[in-house]
Chains A and B, each alone.
Chain A
């Protein structure tokens, strides 16, 4: 309250002394900019150090044939690593799997997440905190733990799913499609709460009087959802989609725990892990990581430029 008053009084002064305003204003702008740097600077420097530096290093290493256990044999080979990767069917298979997992999980999560957001939004009274907590629990569980839980549930010796579904000795993780199905299921269970949280924030932004007015005008619940609620939370939906798509595209834990890439379930991240960590081929692995980074950038670019996702508006700043 007091700060609002201060702002107003500063404005009054500015109106009465236009000449002084220009000088003071630019001073103020400079001071504000400086303070902005003071506040954001350390975070910016840390971000560059922990994110920018490894990215640049990966770019540099990707131009070499370099094995960690044979540093003496390091050799500059230009873009050859990229040539090897892009001409390998394993890469395209992994990219296909990753894209499939991303599309399937994000689409399903959006629908379920929206339903859960509505439940969290509508439920009132003492039930509200309980419902919200219950919905958020899967998101609080570490991905590796949830991956093991799902693997044990579907596993041949440990699982109960086969007896529940009457499938006998069916090995879910020996077949590509059934393995991908369980991987997607685990992913959806784990991250739907994240999407529903983002959508809940969007729902809260839809003005209640608009829905009220539509109701008075005789719109059905379905019409209110499609014509009033959804258009008004488009920004939130797009941001939720973008965040989850970026996250899903980097899927690693579930695949690593459940199949470790067997039965043709390799994803781009597990491919990068295999080259860099298992084979210790830093050059080739860095090139895979760079390509993964390019894919993620591409998703961002498409979302922001083509689908016009406005990150600021979704945070309620617009």
Chain B
């Protein structure tokens, strides 16, 4: 049927009916033209970064939070008196997924990114690839003044501050006061992993650790290796194939021993192999674990759960905290260091305004307000003296101490390979043996040399 219809049309054309093919050509051209117009208008919409009034719009790619960054963006825009207007775009919640999105855009020289909230572990890679605008010397000085050491280290690469420290996170050991007391643990002094494991076993409870095959596994392994006096990477500045790893060491074996002990004592708790920080917080809140290592957001989460009535207030009042567990008694632990740094894109068309905006975003006032509203600890040490912060976070002094002692995760442009390699070989926790450090070191080295898939 279709063929015969087509044939009849061709015949009529051959019969000399004028206008058909010419009109067809025009229609085609018109079609192409309109398609091009639609495409072009779409592209303009993507690249448009100025409002009609001439105020440049700065696009700030942020990690998801409770809306604190959005609020800061609005306040800074208003305070700039029309110098800039910050528009916020939200990245995925997972740090690795945030990196994936940003890197792909930046590799395509995307000028629509002006500011970005970066996890410190991805600062070296972003800087090494030339994706960050060079921070003027005076701003480097200004942005690092009064900031905790670990946060400045995390925001720097090759001895230069390449991003602005915004907030600095650290993990604490959280526990139920009643359970720790029943187990006879003296929580006024730092405790060791061995003590916590024994206490959890004695009380028939679990320790909330992050056993998922994800970046959180590297956070844990790194903190244990650093606390035992080791380092995951010996020469972080090196190119991938030349990187020397320090996982296969006494410190690495000590870290593996803690995991083995957790498995042997049966205190990993349910679902350890698929547990991230949020799942750990929920487990602790629901009573599935009475000890946990986690970021301070768990306090804000517990508080709002108690206020909303989804958790018994008595349970929240039983929340206790102290510094991260030690590997050896008397040897100060090196807790995990996290946080967010703000980078200015090398492809931004409004760099000067972007630098001005960063200075506003990381102001002491904003960091204090952000800590109270979103539960993310400030990078500026002075913020911990703020009475509103002290009231909202009774553990402010523990956080400050922990930040001072914290060890950053390996700072390398190849962090993703190192982190994924660790997550791959140290998970599931129950499979870890004294051979795991050597096996993971061999595997990651081969991956970095391009000899293995990840």
Interface residues of A (CB under 8 A from B): 3-4, 6-7, 10, 27-28, 31-32, 35, 65, 68-71, 73, 80, 84-85, 88, 90-91, 155-157, 169, 171, 173-174, 260-263, 271, 274-275, 277-281, 284, 288
Contacts and interface: CB of A to CB of B under 8 A. Distances in A.
Given A3-B1, A10-B11, A68 B103 contact: yes
The residue among B11, B214, B283 with the most chain A CB atoms within 10 A of its own CB is: B11
A28 B100 contact: no
A10 B8 CA distance: 9
Interface string B114-146: 000000000001101101000000000000000
A69 B273 CA distance: 31
Given A32-B10, A69-B129, A278-B420, A174 B450 contact: no
A76 B13 CA distance: 54
B271 A169 contact: yes
Indicate the member of B7, B104, B453 with the most A CB atoms within 10 Å: B453
A31 B13 contact: yes
Given A69-B128, A90-B452, A271-B453, A32 B107 contact: no
A84 B453 contact: yes
Given A28-B14, A262-B427, 4 more contacts: A174-B274, A261-B213, A280-B103, A280-B107
* A-side interface mostly: helix
A278 B420 CA distance: 9
B261 interface: no
B451 interface: yes
What 6 A-B pairs come out closest when comparing CB atoms? A156-B271, A69-B129, A174-B273, A262-B213, A169-B270, A3-B4
Nearest to B214: A260
A157 B271 contact: yes
A65 B450 contact: yes
A279 B103 CA distance: 10
A3 B11 CA distance: 12
A199 B214 CA distance: 42
A24 to B, nearest CB: 9
A89 to B, nearest CB: 9
Q: Is the interface of B mostly helix, strand, loop or mixed?
A: helix
B8 A3 contact: yes
Given A156-B270, A156-B274, A28 B417 contact: no
Nearest to B97: A278
A263 B428 contact: yes
A69 B450 CA distance: 15
Contacts of A169: 270-271
Interface string B411-433: 00100110010000001100000
Nearest to A280: B103
Nearest to A2: B8
Given A32-B7, A157-B279, A279 B270 contact: no
Interface of B: 1, 4-11, 13-14, 96, 100, 103-104, 107, 125-126, 128-129, 131, 212-214, 239, 270-271, 273-274, 279, 282-283, 413, 416-417, 420, 427-428, 450-454
A30 B270 CA distance: 72
Contacts of B103: 68-69, 280
B452 A27 contact: no
A30 to B, nearest CB: 10
Contacts of A3: 1, 4-5, 7-8
Nearest to B447: A279
A190 B169 CA distance: 41
Contacts of B213: 260-263
A3 to B, nearest CB: 4
18 contacts: A7-B8, A10-B7, A28-B14, A31-B10, A31-B14, A68-B103, A68-B104, A69-B103, A69-B125, A70-B128, A71-B107, A90-B453, A91-B453, A171-B271, A174-B428, A274-B420, A279-B420, A281-B450
Contact of A70 (B6, B8, B129): B129
A31 B15 CA distance: 12
A98 B270 CA distance: 29
